[in-house]
Amino acid sequence: MLFIVFACWYHIGQAQIINIESKRISTDTTGFDGSLGVSFSASKFTESFVAAEALGHVQYKTQKDLFLLMGEFQILSAGGEDFNNSGFGHLRYNRKFSDIVRGELFTQVQYNSVTKIELRQLNGIGLRLKLSPYENAKVYWGVAYMYEYEELLNPDITNRDHRMSTYFSFTLAPVKTITMKNTTYVQPLFADFMDYRLANNTRLNFGITKNLSFVTTFSFLYDSRPPVEVPNVNYQVNNGLKFNF
């Protein structure tokens, strides 16, 4: 299934944790699936305002294997000054061992000017458990070891950390035209569990017609020890239209 998303508006504050769960394409068929998205907004009253977003996702699935490749870019500029410049690339491999247990390998590169991340590279390995057999109520829990290399801006700091990454995710589809996806991540340092990040993402999809739907997404991040001058709490709201064909 290929779809294009036209986002209407978003609030600055993208989380440091990329919610891969919300970006998976759920399908029972094997082969390729993909998505492309783009949005652009510009205005000028007393000052100029520009917001743009681009994203892409390719997925290949067999009976036991799943390969994910995805990327996303966002920019928000007002009065000639950049308030948000962020992006990421993610590659993941899943292996199905049983109806319940999957293994995962992943690597990710990201940057985010709001949270002062000049570069963050992640490499991880873990397990993913399917906790519900129902198609209209999917529930997953995952845990992974993750090595994190991070270069921060102002002040110039480099971190090399070992983290645990665990998540709980569910997708509810009470009726055909309404879908709710929710994921919560917790990522503490192995050396100090009081140094952790907590993120939650909720996505609601309301069907308007057979091919058109309205999508709203709320993302929240709490970082117990963020970079200097970066707040503990960041959030983002996205509203848009999705066309499936």
Of the two residues 136 and 47, the one the predictor is more confident about is 136
pLDDT digits (tens, 9 = 90+) for 16-48: 677 777 666 666 677 888 877 787 777 666 667
Element (H, E) at 215: strand 212-223
Please enumerate in sequence order all residues whose Cβ is within 8 A of that of 98, keeping only pairs 6 or more positions apart, or say none.
Answer: none
Q: Show the domains of the chain with their CATH numbers.
A: 3-244 (2.40.160.40)
pLDDT digits (tens, 9 = 90+) for 214-230: 999 898 999 999 888 88
Distance of alpha carbon 124 from alpha carbon 164, whole angstroms: 9
Distance of alpha carbon 5 from alpha carbon 21, whole angstroms: 18
Distance of alpha carbon 194 from alpha carbon 213, whole angstroms: 41
Please state whether the predicted TM-score (pTM) of the whole model is above 0.75: yes
Distance of alpha carbon 150 from alpha carbon 165, whole angstroms: 16
Contact at 8 Å (CB) between 241 and 215?
yes
Residue 133 main-chain phi, psi, to 5 deg: -90, -5
